[in-house]
A and B are shown apart, each in its own frame.
Chain A
Amino acid sequence: MNAPEPTFTPNRMTYREACKQALREALLSDPRVFLMGEDIGRYGGCYAVTKGLLEEFGEERIRDTPLSESAFVGAGVGAAMAGMRPIVEIMTVNFSLLALDQILNNAVTIPHMSGGQFAIPLVIRMATGGGRRVAAQHSRSLEGWYAHIPGLRVLTPATVEDARFMLKSALADPNPVIIFEHVMLYNMEGDFPSDMKEVDIARAKVHRAGRDVSLITYGGSLFKALQAADALSSEGIDAEVIDLRTLRPLDTKTIIDSVARTRRCVIIDEGWRSGSISAEVGMRIAEEAFFELDAPLRRVCSREAPIPYAAHLEDACLPQAATIVAVARELVRPS
């Protein structure tokens, strides 16, 4: 069953391996760092991200928890208040709903409500997104909800480079940070410059420069947007692709600068359209760059339904490259 582990040069690896190396680096560089979560130890992590860490770091720092999301996330909050640097893994965002009270009512509230007496340097990692044919309760994309919450930093690494280095920035932040890892990315391979040590999480990234339309996205949809941009280019449409990377706080400047250049914009978001992060991005453009626009703002989001199991239905629910192409084309060359 087990395929041999692929061997890579130090700067070429899978997204999963990048996540793991980031955790290893954190555990090695700070004795206050420890990991907690369901099946992160003996099982090796439900997406095999933490495989081998228990053997290397022992049970005190790699803590398998019972199925008690609220208790162990709250324990992370308490431990962060009392001097530790916990990294909590919630298997997937779907289960984070059982810990929402601890995240919202405690982690992001106590620093402010205590008048700045306590910081909560807590990192929570969770998998997000659809595409694996596992039906509604395992396929949600709720990162946009979390981005609604002041006091939280919301990171959505879409590249191997970001998976490898965003954790370091998250741990340097004295505030609660959630890292959303898209489930479809774990097996993806990628590389980064061999001398790279860190990434700047304050900035969105222009992955591909273009003149005709901005495709603004994040996380698992980035590659769909890039695919769409390739297809558009064969039609003579030059699309710019922006990876937001951090959903909160948003790097509005990169967004506005891009739209001011291209004058057209499609926002791609795996969340549901109503009240989504795409709505927030669109509204910021409307507020700050309305007169730069040559065309109405457009969005490609998930269909407003629970994601079904059947492959054709799931595919129809999620943003797809073909839809992005069609929407962008219509913007640039209205029929």
Chain B
Amino acid sequence: MTKKVYLDHAHLLHLLKAMIRIRHFEAKCVELYQAQKILGFLHLYDGEEAVSVGVMEALTPEDAIIATYREHGQALARGVDPKCLMAEMMGKLNGCCRGRGGSMHFFDRKRRFYGGNAIVGGGLPLALGVALADKMQRRSAVTACFFGEGAVDEGEFHETLNLAKLWRLPILFVCENNLYSMGMAVERAEADIDFVHKASGYRVAGEKVDGMDVVAVESAARNAIDRIRSENDPYFLECRTYRFRAHSMFDAQLYRSKEEVEAWRKKGPILRFQTWLEANRLIKPEEIAAMEKEIDFEIAEAVAYAEAGGLEPISELERFVTMDEVPA
């Protein structure tokens, strides 16, 4: 029985807005990167927005999230304040992690956002622990664990799926299969590219979903979460998606053709959803314009907040290397 997503007008607008927010936020990040206000690595989520937006719709505030270094989308869709995110990217003290993590390491304790992790596969074991802690403390929360298909190459993926099933932990594994890990095409890295089949090797149930279709992702995630809660079991969702831009900011993209990227762009999640809404007269052009204006205003505010932010004093550099107490 698949659950229908209740597509009222407000919800449709909300989904579109959440995706456009991520897209515009990142477009601003690129500008700031070029202006050298954002430094280091910057992994854009351009093309993959439907995945985090769709999944996040199915989660409650009690649920937990674990993400990768490509986590701008997850953080924004989870409702982490764009101001703190932008400030974090710019290395400011008013950033979500005081400017210590940057683009790859957003954390937000209040939203149970357990981090962007820059070790491929490194977040998966953490998901076990968070889910185990919830289970042992008799909380009904689910942990959504996002990772790229490259993480499936790592041993930690296999150890984690096995333990999740063995201990019947409430984890939603979200594999963002964008077909490449850096320049490594999935079929050149994995002997079996049927990830749902792989998960079933650990007796973790799962399904493949079109990660370019936000409604399909939301629907699949809602069903998955219901199933996790009712059957007390992990679930595996493979979201088929595509990264439109470079892996990070330094990438000549020698491993794929422009035509391939263009073909995928035509299937882009925002383009596709917006076109569908327009064709079915579910949204008015002025609604889109108003939405974009609001988003751009939000982002301008975020940039202003970040620009105004101070720098963490060097004297605080060693603060929190060890903690004085466990935060309440």
Q: Which residues of A contact B (CB under 8 A)?
A: 34, 60, 63, 65-66, 68, 70-84, 86, 101-102, 105-106, 110-119, 121, 150-151, 153, 174-175
Contacts and interface: CB of A to CB of B under 8 A. Distances in A.
B108 A81 contact: no
A66 B163 contact: yes
B163 A68 contact: yes
Contacts of B124: 71, 74
30 contacts: A60-B136, A66-B162, A66-B163, A68-B162, A70-B125, A71-B156, A74-B124, A74-B160, A75-B125, A78-B114, A78-B128, A78-B132, A78-B133, A83-B133, A84-B132, A101-B156, A106-B122, A113-B105, A113-B107, A115-B96, A115-B101, A115-B107, A117-B108, A117-B327, A118-B109, A118-B114, A119-B325, A119-B326, A174-B322, A174-B324
Interface in B93-107: 95-98, 100-101, 105, 107
A205 B210 CA distance: 63
A105 B119 contact: yes
A107 to B, nearest CB: 10
B107 A79 contact: no
Given A71-B128, A81-B130, 19 more contacts: A68-B163, A74-B122, A74-B128, A78-B126, A78-B129, A79-B132, A80-B129, A81-B129, A82-B134, A101-B122, A106-B122, A113-B97, A114-B100, A114-B105, A115-B100, A117-B107, A118-B107, A118-B327, A175-B323
A73 B124 CA distance: 11
B128 A175 contact: no
B212 to A, nearest CB: 31
Contact of B101 (A34, A74, A113): A113
B289 interface: no
Given A78-B127, A105-B119, A151-B321, A70 B156 contact: yes
Contacts of B206: none
Contacts of A118: 107, 109, 114, 327
Given A74-B124, A78-B126, A79-B133, A112 B159 contact: no
A211 to B, nearest CB: 36
Interface band, chain B: 35 or more
Interface of B: 64, 66, 95-98, 100-101, 105, 107-109, 114-115, 117, 119, 122, 124-134, 136-137, 155-156, 159-160, 162-163, 166-167, 318-327
Contacts, number: 156
A77 B126 contact: yes
A113 B122 CA distance: 15
A34 B323 CA distance: 22
A53 B298 CA distance: 56
Contacts of A86: 129
Contacts of A115: 95-98, 100-101, 107, 320
Contacts of B156: 70-71, 74, 101
Nearest to A69: B159
A177 to B, nearest CB: 10
Contact of B125 (A74, A82, A119): A74
Contacts of B98: 115-116
A36 B324 CA distance: 25
Contacts of A65: 163
A116 B125 contact: no
A34 B109 contact: no
B100 A113 contact: yes
A74 B326 contact: no
A39 B187 CA distance: 38
Contacts of B131: 78
Given A66-B162, A115-B100, A71 B125 contact: yes
Contacts of B134: 82
Contacts of B325: 119, 174
